[in-house]
Structure 1
Amino acid sequence: MPRLSLRQIAFLSCVFSVGSLTVLPATAHADDYTELLDILRAKGSLTHGEYNSLLAHHLRHSRSEASSNQDGTSSPPAKRNRYRRYNPTQYDGSLEPPDVTTIAAAQAARRAASEAAADARDTRSMLRQARASYDPDSVVRVKPYVAGKGVTVQAGQIEINLSGFVNGFYTYNSPGGGKPVAGGVSTGSSGFDSSSVRNGLLPGGLILKLNTVQDGIKLGAVFGMYPGLNNADVGAFNANSGGSPVGLGTAGVDFRQVYMTAGTDRLGTIKIGRDIALFASDAILNDATLLSVGSTGSNANPANTSLGRIGVGYVYTDWLPQITYISPKWHGLQGSVGIMTPLDPFNYAGGGLSATSTQHSSPMVQGKVTYDAKIAGFTTRLWASFLTQHVQNLTSSTLGTDSRKGATVAAGDVGVKLSRGPFEGVAYYYYGNGLGTTGLLFDGISQSGRKRNSEGYYVQASYKILPRLKLVGSYGVSNLYQAAGEDNPSLVRRNQSEVGALYYTLTDWMFLVGEYAHTESDAHGPNHESDHTMSAGAMITF
């Protein structure tokens, strides 16, 4: 029913009040109110619905009075249905307007709807204000976790990633006997079995990465801390020197990574700081013993890490201060080139067998090219890298301390990794002139200042015999040749090892390792030594 205004209700009340005071018999004045209603409608005081409602009520009341007057009795009023909907356009002569209760309910419903609409308007207004005041740089959120990729937090425009790993192995080493080899990596001549709880080729690691984009330039900073388990005994190799298994000792921290990056997808990236070098980096990163122990190097007094396959298949790439350019990737092809802090030639064999130097007028230069593609159904990575450095003022027992003699060291390598289904294979080869063996520039130059050639390789295969269980086997060799005119029978000629291991993935974070390694070292003379190593342990990566 259309709603009457207060003015209309008051006006009609007055009209009917006056009419009730002067009412005459209904039979004589039945049309008086009809005419009045017609007049009010014509003047616009009543709407069409209001007119029909009042007219229906008046006519019904008139018929009731007429019936009562004819038979002298009055009929009881019809029962009213307060919940019956009223539609004045469907008047049938018996329908009456709704009562006050129905009108009040309708008014209450209208008030509730009006309040709900007001609340909705307030909510929309608050939402607009929130959007206007929203500052994405002030929002901190955690990105979805990806196993092995660490925890990533987006703090406004800065992405913060924290990742790392922890490992530990029980390692038992049994010497196979023999005589010491100068520059060898086997411990077979020690004569005693040894046990230790130690790190593998990797120490522990905690790596913090920060990345952002400013003025269209991708910027990053990385801090990588690598603590060991065993007591440190700092020597020539710092935290990587042989440990000190005595009471009250503390572990060493190898702060390998401190660098920043800046670049774009189109122009490439510049890296400045300390990070893994380019030459031979893919060799160690694809070595299965990176996640286990391999050759121990020392087990009675464990260093921060074992050797893995360092010196028995490749020369350690090392972590060097550098300024390196990394190109964008183009159809799977990517190149890198950098200048790095030059290293001293080092007499690792001892006994004055190799020349040394501490003078550097030019940096070390390294470069690498990688190619990633799908070849014959295999996911394939091919790589090649190089290294060159000039060394000056070489000194030895033969050359003296002011020889003014120098040499240019050069090396190169190639490698391939193939993956398909449960199978994965790696093959690698390197060659160096003055490079040496085991470490960069270790025993690379003879007492006379002449460069020694070196080469090495390793092959590796792995197969998932079960979804969580992987079997790995590898073999590697590192050879060091004598310089022209040199005759040092105690100097190492070959280091080699065979490794077999089982890796069981327990969870996304944790895997278990059981491994056997056999390591041998041979001199240019008759000396030879070998050892056997059994290791079992676990690693967590996050």
Structure 2
Amino acid sequence: MLRRISGFILFTFFVCLTLPPAAQSAITLYDADETTFSVDGSFNTFYVYSSSDKNAEMEAISGPDREQSRVKMGFLPNWIGFNFSKQVNNLKLGGRSSFWVTINDSDNNLTETGIDVRQFYGTVDADWGQVLFGKDFTLFNRSNIFLDEILLGYGNVSDTLGLIDGNGVSFGNIGTGYTYPFPSAQITYRTPQLHGFKLAVGVIDPSRTADEGQEKTPRFEGELTFNHKFESGDVTAWGGFLYQKSESNAQNGMDITSKGVSYGVRARYAGFSLHASGFNAEGLGFLLGPGADTTLGLPVAGPGGELDSNGWLLQASYTYGPLRFVGSYGENELKAADKWENQTATGAVFYNVNDYFKLVAEYNVNEISIGTAEEETKTVALGAILNF
């Protein structure tokens, strides 16, 4: 299983994420007859130097210590997105498609650039709220990751998880603070905002976690958010949930129930920002959620049943003119027979050249352990980010 995890290099491109579309300054290409069409995009590239230090047990899993320089994407990939909306009587109809591109294909794939569709959905808005149907990021741990202070930065990598090289992104704080809200087919209802509160509840295409499994019901996820603005600042708080059951048809197979809660708060005043978030779960996994972790051979259950996992993230930032300084620490834990622990400390400086272009310098230390096997990876990343 652990050798398979080292093969993460072939998978990491497919587990990156994005800012919500509303956070981008889209260019409107058409706006007439109550119909709009716009496009947004993001480009980033980092020079990265990583140094991996392993004990003997971890060397047996993922090879010897390494020092590696790369030119690659950061936590976010590069993408282009298209947005559509049209008012029809009392309904506003909309949709979004976004296409994600890796720039890291020169090392071993030559020019076979991977293109992934991360979002492809329609929306119907009215006074009663919104219904979204199609493929989008899911709800559990959604605000945990979208409000991460280093979302535009680089974040954690390790050789054990195949991330020092890889054909895709680094992991930000995936696995060291939260799990990834993997894009999935869904039907999601969002209420109108009422006194700062907004509820989203989704019916999600379920993940197969049991051997020869069947899923009689879909996965259910939800998130309640609260936003309050005041002079010179604002507060955002949230709580989410996930529940699904996969029933095994294999002889002596185990049914696996995946469930969890996510939560957090972010407070900003003047130039200061504080972020605290976390999750508690069972049968969910360590990094990417029940479906992806199961596919990769990462454990979500053991002989005694579903495995417990949890994570938390603490961050502080200060913005002074075009500069933003960030300090971040997070960790995840999986209570398997060989306990998994993964933690990341990050310091970063972002410089806004203008509203569309920024530079970032980041220093990151990741420590991962599987039982007594341990690895520490130190990373320096220098990047440029262009959004429109």
Equivalent of residue 291 in structure 1, options 152, 157, 165? 152
C-alpha change, 1:404 and 1:529, in structure 2 (3 Å) is closer
CA positional deviation for 1:263 = 2.2
Report what 2:43 is aligned to.
Answer: 166
- Counterpart among 305, 309, 327 of residue 169 in structure 2: 305
1:507 partner letter: N
2:81 corresponds to 1:211: no
User: What is the 5 A alignment of 1:175-254?
Assistant: 175-179=52-56, 190-231=64-105, 245-246=107-108, 248-254=110-116
Q: In structure 2, give the amino acid aligned to 1:392.
A: E
Residue 151 of structure 1 aligns with which residue? 27
Matched residue, 1:495: 342
Aligned 1:40-439 pairs, distance under 5 A: 148-152=24-28, 153-179=30-56, 190-231=64-105, 245-246=107-108, 248-264=110-126, 266-297=127-158, 298-345=162-209, 356=211, 358-374=213-229, 378-393=233-248, 401-439=250-288
Shift of 1:226: 1.1
SS at match of 2:43: strand
Q: Does 1:516 align with 2:363?
A: yes
Structure 1 residue 177: deviation in Å? 2.3
CA distance in 2, matches of 1:281, 1:451: 23
Does the CA-based 8 Å contact 1:252-1:304 persist in structure 2? no
Larger Rg: 1
Paired AA for residue 468 in structure 1 = P
Task: Quote how far apart the aligned CAs of 1:359 are.
Answer: 2.5
Alpha-carbon deviations, 1:237-294, whole Å to 9, x = none? xxxxxxx722634221121000000120x21111000001011011111112321111
Aligned-pair CA distance for 1:328: 0.6
Q: Does 1:536 align with 2:366?
A: no
Deviation (angstroms), 1:179: 4.2
> Which residue number in structure 2 is paired with residue 94 of structure 1?
none
- When residues 429 and 147 of structure 1 are mapped into structure 2, their CA distance, relative to the original with a 3 A threshold, is closer
Deviation, structure 1 residue 427: 0.3
| Alpha-carbon distance in structure 2 between the residues aligned to 1:181 and 1:512 | 35
Residues 147, 509 of structure 1: 8 Å contact kept: no
CA distance in 2, matches of 1:385, 1:175: 35
Q: Is the 8 A contact 2:47 2:381 kept in 1?
A: yes
The structure with more helix, counted as a fraction of residues: 1
Instruction: Write out per-residue CA displacement over residues 95-142 of structure 1, whole angstroms, 9 at most, x where no aligned residue.
Output: xxxxxxxxxxxxxxxxxxxxxxxxxxxxxxxxxxxxxxxxxxxxxxxx
Q: Deviations over 1:388-418 (max 9, x none)?
A: 0001117xxxxxx433531321100110011
Please list the CA deviations of residues 126-179 of structure 1 after superposition, one character each: whole Å capped at 9, or x if unmatched: xxxxxxxxxxxxxxxxxxxx9942111303321111111100001111012224
Deviations 1:432-466 (A, max 9, x none): 011111110234533426111111100011102x3
Q: Which residue of 1 aligns with 2:329?
A: 475
Q: Is the 8 A contact 2:367 2:376 kept in 1?
A: yes
Q: Partner of 2:286: helix, strand, or coil?
A: coil
- Whichever residue aligns with residue 426 of structure 1, its letter is H
Residue by residue over 1:476-501, the C-alpha shift from the partner in whole angstroms, topping out at 9 and shown as x without a partner, is: 0101113xxxxx33xx4210010000
CA contact (8 A) 1:460 1:472 kept: yes
State the SS of the aligned residue for 1:479: strand
Quote the offset at 1:331 in angstroms: 1.1
Contact 1:406-1:449 at 8 Å conserved across structures:
no
In 2: Cα distance, 1:386 partner to 1:225 partner: 28
Q: Secondary structure at the match of 2:151?
A: helix
Q: 1:356 to 1:292 in 2, by over 3 A?
A: farther
2:324 counterpart of 1:450 = no
Pick 1 or 2: higher relative contact order, CA cutoff 8 A, min separation 6: 2
- 2:323–2:352 CA contact under 8 A, matched in 1: yes
RMSD value over aligned CA atoms? 2.2
Deviations 1:216-243 (A, max 9, x none): 1010011011111012xxxxxxxxxxxx
Q: Which runs of 5+ in 2 are unaligned?
A: 1-21
Q: Percent identity?
A: 28
The offset of 1:209, in angstroms, is 0.4
Extract unaligned runs of 5+ from structure 1.
Answer: 1-145, 232-243, 346-354, 395-400, 483-487
Distance 2:213 2:382 in 1: 41
With over 3 angstroms needed to count, the CA separation of the structure-2 counterparts of 1:463 and 1:257, relative to structure 1, is same
Whichever residue aligns with residue 215 of structure 2, its letter is: H
Q: Deviations over 1:288-317 (max 9, x none)?
A: 232111112445532321111000111111
Structure 1 residues 367 and 439: alpha-carbon distance in aligned structure 2, compared to 1, 3 A threshold? same
Superposed displacement of residue 344, structure 1? 2.5
Equivalent position SS for 1:193:
strand
Query: Would you say the 8 A contact 2:157–2:164 is kept in 1?
Result: no
Question: Counterpart of 1:458 in structure 2: which amino acid?
Answer: L
Corresponding letter in the other structure for 1:254: D
**Which residue, out of 289, 294, 306, partners 1:440?**
289
Match of residue 3 from structure 2: none
Aligned pair count? Answer: 356
Give the structure-2-normalised TM-score.
0.86
Local SS of the residue matching 1:283:
helix
Secondary structure of the structure 2 residue equivalent to 1:261 = strand
Higher strand share: 2
**Which has the larger displacement, 532-541 or 359-368?**
359-368
